[in-house]
Amino acid sequence: MPRDANGNIVAPKSQHRVIPVEELRSNYAILQSKRTACELQHWCISLVVVSIFFSALALILTGFMIVKPAIVTQNFLEADCEVITTKHLGRRECKCGGFTNDDPYCMSTYSCLQIRVAYTTKDSVYNDPWSRSIPLPDYSFENETEYGNIADTYEDGTKYGVLFENELQMLSTSNECSFSACKSDSRMNKIDVEHFRNKWGEPSKTYKCFYNPNNATQVISEKKFKKVHIFHALFWPSAILVISLVSYCLVRRCHNEDKKAKRVQNEMRGISSVRKPNFVIDAKERNYMRPIQTESGPIPFNFTSTPVGMSAYDGPCTRG
């Protein structure tokens, strides 16, 4: 080790060029801009990936929860319904757990209410060439014990069916019930069922309804979803998904172009881009953690008391 005249160890001369403070400031500004641009690219990529995931998830959920039941009832026709009879088919068990209940395994019961209605349509009866009235084909109920022994179409054009609250109730597992309520408190379910019966199930009461021309026994009191709901359920998630995919491709392309330009620049300087992986060296180069010489001497990597303390930076740029 080299020593001075007094025998003290003398530090070896630095192999790096001494950088003036003014030049160091300009280099620091360039370094900060590079790091900011790199961070921005990675944040954009992360944001776009999250947007792609949630838009795809929203498209799947709205497809099953809105589009699927809405398409089934789009061909339903309007008619004037009259209540014939109202029956209670006993109690049904249901799962009341979900997002609005603290207990996901909650079980409850409700009274299965069935409302039978009669309605008349213009196309219920058609005539043959000899002007003889012929009823339309019969779509009788499959389960006579629950629906009763009634035909859905008679010669006078009157049709009979079971009234459902909406398309969701008609497509549910309890499709023999006109209405179902499933809350943790069965007394609240009873109140909801009675409210529906008073509104739609009073004998001889008439109101507008919608029936299935392909199955006259299916009648709903109102359409929960219309065409505008189908449009919004499909358009917005699809639009966000497409925009996110295009944005992801553009951001990734810009990111790859920057990496390619840096690789070409290194090759022009004679720096090989193919090397054995070394985590420490790779982290230093990616974070621009090279030792910087100043008039006061070299700045170590763990030095954080000066503006050049960005050598300890461990941000998204380390991920390439």
The pTM assigned to this predicted structure is 0.60
pLDDT surpasses 90 at 164:
yes
In this structure, are residues 51 and 237 in contact, taking their beta carbons and an 8 Å threshold?
no
- Model confidence band, residue 267 (pLDDT cutoffs 50, 70, 90): confident
Q: What is the mean pLDDT of residues 258-263?
A: 82
CB of 109 within 8 A of CB of 186?
A: yes
Q: If pLDDT is split at 50, 70 and 90, which confidence band does 16 have?
A: low
Q: What is the pLDDT of residue 154?
A: 56
- The dihedral of CA 164, 222, 79, 230: what is its sign? negative
Place of tokens 């409302």: 115
| Distances 89 to 86, 112, 177 between C-alpha atoms, Å | 10, 5, 8
Q: What's the whole-number mean pLDDT along residues 267-281?
A: 61
Using alpha carbons only, what angle is made at residue 117 by residues 69 and 182, rounded to the nearest 5 degrees?
50
Domains of the chain by residue range: 75-224
pLDDT above 70 covers a percentage of the chain that reads: 68
For range 55-61, the mean pLDDT: 94
d(CA 267, CA 269): 5
Task: Give the mean pLDDT of the chain.
Answer: 76
**Amino acid 226: pLDDT:** 87
Is pLDDT at 132 greater than 50 in this prediction?
A: no
pLDDT in tens, 283-315: 555 544 455 555 555 555 444 444 444 443 444
Contacts of 69 (CB under 8 A, 6+ apart): 167, 168, 171, 224, 225
pLDDT digits (tens, 9 = 90+) for 28-55: 787 788 788 888 888 888 999 999 999 9
Please tell me the distance from the alpha carbon of residue 226 to that of residue 70, in angstroms, as a whole number.
7
> Is the per-residue pLDDT at 25 higher than 90?
no
Q: Which class for 186: exposed (0-12), middle (13-18), buried (19 or more C-beta within 10 A)?
A: middle
Predicted confidence at residue 265, as pLDDT, reads 78
**Under a CB-based contact definition with an 8 Å cutoff, are residues 114 and 165 in contact?**
no
111 close to 91: Cβ distance less than 8 angstroms: yes
pLDDT of residue 81: 94
- State the pLDDT confidence band at 22, using cuts at 50, 70 and 90: confident
Task: Tell me which residue of 212, 205, 207, 210 sits closest to 223, measured CA to CA.
Answer: 210
Number of Cβ within a 10 Å radius of residue 210: 21
Convert the pLDDT of each residue in 67-109 to its tens digit.
988 998 888 999 999 999 999 999 999 888 655 555 567 888 9
Within 76-226, residue ranges assigned H as helices are: 144-147, 167-170, 186-200
